[in-house]
Amino acid sequence: RFRQMPTFGRATIRRFHRNVSEMKQFAARDYEDILQCILPVLDGLFPEMEKILLDVCFDLAAFHAMAKLRLHTTATVAAFRVVTTNMCTTVRKFARDSQNIKTFETPREQERRKEAAKKLAEKNAPAGASSTAAKEQSSSVGAGAAKERKLNVETPKYHAAAGYPDAVERDGSLDSFSTQIVSHGLILFYVILLDALLSDNNLNL
């Protein structure tokens, strides 16, 4: 369904991958495009949980839109708080309602887990073991069916989302500050410090 989604503008909505769940090296625009187009994609796909799914996606899209605002006022910050509360409530409700639904890792995630298990088994193999035995052991460790995955809302990222409106009110819009500024400042500081040290060494010589 994502593949059937038409493009919009020169770079607003781009052509989706054939299998969105198997995409790797996501860019920020990929997440944004998926979030903007996911409502019609999910429409009618899961009849039993359609309402809660659409509510979750809508609240996430609303939260994303409010977080991306480049200019905030008292009214928009108040609206941002309401949107954030609704988003957190809906996500928690979805996590509760989907506990009985079995979901599994994707084939790509399964392959990555198997490869990691094989490498770990080969690394921990006894020093005197033959290469054939080590390979057999690593194969047995990496084998197995796909693991069951559940939505985990007990993460720092999810809990930090509630503080976004406070951050906007305290520090301004979220695009007005970045860790890049600190990184560039540190690089400049180290360059100046290194230049000063080299100059002192030349004087001493």
Instruction: List per-residue pLDDT tens for the chain, 205 residues long.
Output: 666 666 666 666 666 666 666 666 666 777 777 777 777 777 777 778 888 888 988 998 899 889 888 888 999 999 999 999 999 999 999 888 888 878 777 777 788 888 888 888 877 776 655 555 555 555 555 556 778 778 888 888 888 888 889 988 888 887 766 555 555 566 666 677 777 777 655 544 4
Q: How many residues does the chain have?
A: 205
Per the structure block, which two tokens stand in for 57?
């996606």
Neighbours of 116 (CB within 10 A): 12
Do the Cβ atoms of 53 and 46 come closer than 8 Å? yes
Do the Cβ atoms of 37 and 56 come closer than 8 Å? no
| Phi–psi pair at 104, nearest 5 degrees | -125, 160
| pLDDT reported for residue 79 | 94
Do the Cβ atoms of 171 and 177 come closer than 8 Å? yes
Whether pTM > 0.85 for this model: the answer is: no
SS3 of 8, please? strand
Categorise residue 172: left if φ over 0, alpha if ψ from -120 to 50, beta otherwise.
left
Do the Cβ atoms of 104 and 146 come closer than 8 Å? yes
| pLDDT reported for residue 6 | 67
